[in-house]
Amino acid sequence: MRLRYLLFLLLFFSSLTKAQTNHANNPRPASPSAPLLLHIDTSMSPVELVKKLLVGQGMYVGKVTYTGHPLAIARYKADAGLPLELKEGIMLSTGNVFDAIGPNDYPYMTTAFSNPATLKRYKGDKDLNRVAHNLSYDVAVLEFDFVPFDNKVSFEYCFGSEEYPEYVDSRYNDVFGFFLKGPKYNNKNLATLPLSVTPVTINSINYKLNKQVFVDNDFFTNAKPIKVLKTMTTKSGQKKEVSEVQLNFKINVRKQKKINPALWQNLQYDGFTKVMTAWCYVQPYQVYHIKIAIGDIGDNSYDSGVFLSAGTFSSNKDSKMPRFKEYADLHAKINFDSMLYGGWPPKPKVLTQEERKDSLDEAEAASFQITNVNFESDSYVVPDSSRTRLTELAQYIKRNPFYTIELYGYTDNQGNKEYNQKLSEHRSQAVMNLMIAQGALQKYFRIAGFNFERPLGDNSNDQGRARNRRVEIILVDNR
């Protein structure tokens, strides 16, 4: 903790100097011997970035807004030869976007946009706080409304950070989210691991966990701040010694040689994910709202960035959607401006018999959403008292295959975090396995473990700990 605080002071005051002389559109070169392969351009407005760059086929967008520092959003372009799979698109950052450009010559690149004098009153972004279970800083948020022409929305992205590798498994868990609102969705986060509700963060993709989708770009060792005495001359001509904090570090040459030179010469981040795809099923020709947000977590140190691939925010028809119904192509007949800015939708019609039945199905499903499965201490054996209820739920899912079942596992606070993380995952897995044995298909499940986070009861007594040893069950309607 003390090391990070000293580093924060060093990096914050150095970032103030950078902010006074920002890079404009003249970023520093990668190195004298290597051509610059990553280009950052801040000349486009947020509206232009979304409408001209991000959006692809089957989509109409409007009401574009951006909240954050003007140097935290930009267009990026990667030339051939740079091993960054997404070659062009939008970049959002918790620091100066130009500082993402290599060479990777510093282990803790930071632009602290937040003023430390106001941090006690700073609330951050509530959606990022909820995902990370901590306070967010230096937040950049891009939002817009959209109307999809088809039933599946998707886009591609990757995430990079200076928090790698030192702060993996710490509370400094820089995070981003794609929060969707609209029919059937209320702030659903699309930035998750495949077939999971676990958010993509420093702690969920790194050199230890899900490393098959992680790219290491770090070769620094023994980074630590030291105080250095310097002699300065005052206005009166007197000599005076002052102390200054500097960051010392070493380069692991052997590890550096294992990394593609084009990568570390052009990208500052110490690690990043491979291409990830965010997607969900939607209702064609309905208005949705998406919020794309990124923030530093725990403090405002060490930059992170998310790259959104150009032209990939699109919709397409997917007949494999559970309970898929064919729909007409209406995009040439609808006034989309009326949908987004007023006069739409028309007054609701009287429900058909089938629609009334759907409402009854939803009412039946609601009874399952508040059921928790509780476990004995240090166990992931599903208790007999819950087996009948889970069998009923499995049968319900067989009759209504348009639901996704989200299972969140938790523990009490006895034992270390690593052990409880595995135990919470085992509990979610055990509930899923029981329901699969009763006929529910595995593809309808998303599971995650959250160890002893979000306790329902007081962990200082037996009764409270018993409430916390649980699996929460939530049904998500994908129609």
Identify the residue with better confidence: 105 or 66: 66
Domain count, the chain: 3
Predicted pLDDT at 40: 94
Predicted pLDDT at 225: 65
Looking up tokens 């969705």 gives 185
- The CATH number given to whatever domain includes residue 444 is 3.30.1330.60
Q: Is 103 exposed, middle or buried (0-12, 13-18, 19+ CB in 10 A)?
A: middle
Predicted pLDDT at 82: 86
Amino acid type, 360? L
Whether 387 and 267 map to the same domain: the answer is no
pTM here is: 0.65
Residue 428 has pLDDT above 90, yes or no: yes
Identify the residue with better confidence: 218 or 114: 218
Q: Dump pLDDT digits (tens) for 123-143.
A: 788 898 888 878 888 899 999
Q: Which two three-digit tokens encode residue 360?
A: 């009854």
Does residue 331 form part of some domain?
no
Q: Dump pLDDT digits (tens) for 142-201.
A: 999 999 999 999 999 999 998 888 878 777 778 899 999 999 898 899 999 887 888 888
Q: What is the rounded radius of gyration, in angstroms, for the C-alpha atoms of the chain?
A: 25
From 271, 298, 316, the end of a domain falls on 316
Q: Domain of residue 145: give its range.
A: 2-219+258-316
Which phi and psi angles does 423 have, rounded to 5°? -65, -40
HSE, side-chain direction, 13 A CA sphere, residue 266: 20
Closest by CA position to 304, among listed 465, 439, 122, 177: 177
Residue 366 has pLDDT above 50, yes or no: no
Predicted pLDDT at 369: 44
Residue 282 has pLDDT above 80, yes or no: yes
Whether 147 and 84 map to the same domain: the answer is yes
Q: Dump pLDDT digits (tens) for 317-355.
A: 999 888 899 999 998 888 888 888 875 444 455 555 555
From 235, 251, 267, the end of a domain falls on 251
Residue 28 has pLDDT above 50, yes or no: no
Does residue 201 form part of some domain?
yes
Whether 93 and 207 map to the same domain: the answer is yes
Does residue 383 form part of some domain?
yes
Predicted pLDDT at 117: 53
Q: Which two three-digit tokens encode residue 252?
A: 């692991």
Whether 94 and 201 map to the same domain: the answer is yes
Predicted pLDDT at 52: 94
CA angle 321, 408, 169 (to 5 degrees): 110
Give the pLDDT band (50/70/90) at residue 425.
very high
Does residue 332 form part of some domain?
no
Whether 232 and 189 map to the same domain: the answer is no
Whether 8 and 148 map to the same domain: the answer is yes
Does residue 347 form part of some domain?
no
Give the pLDDT band (50/70/90) at residue 381.
very high
Q: Dump pLDDT digits (tens) for 227-255.
A: 667 777 777 778 777 766 666 778 888 88
Strand residues in 282-426 grouped as ranges (E): 288-297, 304-309, 314-316, 372-374, 403-409
From 204, 230, 251, the end of a domain falls on 251
Which phi and psi angles does 122 have, rounded to 5°? -85, 130
User: What torsion, rounded to 10 degrees, do the Cα atoms 86, 89, 91, 96 define?
Assistant: 100
Predicted pLDDT at 186: 87
Average pLDDT over residues 431-451: 89
Size of the chain, expressed as the number of residues it contains: 479
Whether 390 and 370 map to the same domain: the answer is yes
Whether 241 and 135 map to the same domain: the answer is no
Average pLDDT over residues 431-443: 90
